Structure 1
C-alpha cells in the first residue's frame, strides 16, 4: 500500500467549527471520507472513496484520486478554494 501523495494538497473545512485541514494524500482523504463526511453516500462520495482506495493500492495515479476527491468535497460544500 502507498500513501498516494497528491501533487498539491486539498484544503477542506471540517467539523462544526469549520477547521481547515490540508490533505496531502489519498490515505488522508480516505480517513475523512469514511469517518467525517457530510454528504456520505452520494455518487461523488462513492467515486472519490473508490478512487482513493485504488490510488493507495497503486492502481491509479494519486492525482486522479485527488480530482475525484475535489469533486466530492465541492459537492459536500467543504472544499476551501
Structure 2
C-alpha cells in the first residue's frame, strides 16, 4: 500500500493538553482522522477522510491530502504546531 508520504510533516496537539503527535504520511493522517479525531462530524473532516482514502487507493495527491488534513484540523479547533 502506498502510504502517501508528505514533503513536510504536521505536528498537532492531541486531545491530551500538551501532548503532541507528528505525522508525515497520508496513511498516518487517515488513522488519526478515523480513530483519534476529536470531532466526529464536519464537512472538512468528511473531505479529509475521502481525500486520504483516494491517495491510499492510488488515486490522489498526498499533498492535497495534507492540505485537507490541515483544513479538518482548523474546523475541529486542533492546534497545529509550527
1:36 and 1:16 map into 2 onto residues whose CA distance is 11
Gaps of 5+ in 2: none
User: What SS is found at the alignment partner of 1:29?
Assistant: helix
Detail structure 1 runs of 4+ shifted over 4 Å in the superposition: none
Instruction: Report which stretch shifted further, 16-25 or 40-49.
Output: 16-25
Matches within 5 A, 1:1-80: 1-78=1-78, 79-80=80-81
Q: TM-score, normalised by structure 1?
A: 0.91
Contact 1:33 1:40 in 2 (8 A): no
User: What SS is found at the alignment partner of 1:21?
Assistant: strand
2:6 and 2:77 map into 1 onto residues whose CA distance is 20
| RMSD of Structure 2 on Structure 1 (CA) | 1.2
In the comparison of the two structures, how many residue pairs are matched?
81
Gaps of 5+ in 1: none
1:22 and 1:36 map into 2 onto residues whose CA distance is 13
Contact 2:42 2:75 in 1 (8 A): no
Q: TM-score, normalised by structure 2?
A: 0.90
